Chains A and B, each alone.
Chain A
């Protein structure tokens, strides 16, 4: 039981390049989330998927897109990376949206030059 896994762990991009961050969970959770964490800013929600087949914007969605590929997988895509997207990205999952606890993956450290 691996919990929540994320790939890659580290990535360096040049401005304008695109990439997809992958997230998968094996806990049979319905809800999945993407956060970014920056010094002094705390965790900020980018997008979430309350259930398979649905996605919704969070606090900071601009410059990102997401795909809920199936119940297990939720990907985050940067179409044209900008230096402002340099951050640590965390994926999380919970049994249901709302009251249930969220469990986090190990994170992806992204640098955009």
Chain B
């Protein structure tokens, strides 16, 4: 049974701070990793993909992958109230489907 674990939160950070969201996965053969943002009442929106160990930066977002530790994280720099949402980690294990974590709720206070 492939598992993806996330802290449910809420993670509360002040505006302008760095938000750090973490995800661990159980399947060692996992090959690709995704972060989705989901606003309340909306559908998941893909914000980052990462396939290799290390960091990948896109604007204020940085995804970090450590396959040896089976750990993937998302950093959000200069957090804004508009970043308040639930962040879903998803992992592909070489098959046809993704396994999703249950998500971490992020609250950014002005």
Binding site for B on A (CB under 8 A): 31, 33, 40-43, 45, 48, 50, 56, 58, 90, 97-99, 101-107
Contacts and interface: CB of A to CB of B under 8 A. Distances in A.
Of all A-B residue pairs in the complex, the 10 with the closest CB atoms, nearest first, are A97-B96, A42-B102, A104-B43, A43-B100, A99-B32, A50-B96, A104-B44, A107-B43, A101-B46, A106-B43
Contacts of A50: 96
Given A98-B92, A99-B32, A48 B97 contact: yes
A58 B96 CA distance: 10
B34 interface: yes
B46 A103 contact: yes
A43 B92 contact: no
Interface in B54-110: 88, 90, 92, 94-98, 100-103
13 contacts: A40-B102, A42-B88, A42-B100, A45-B97, A48-B96, A97-B96, A99-B92, A102-B46, A102-B90, A104-B43, A104-B45, A106-B42, A106-B43
B49 interface: yes
Contacts of B32: 99
B33 to A, nearest CB: 10
B102 to A, nearest CB: 4
Contact of A56 (B92, B96, B102): B96
A56 B90 CA distance: 20
Nearest to B93: A98
Contact of B34 (A40, A42, A56, A101): A101
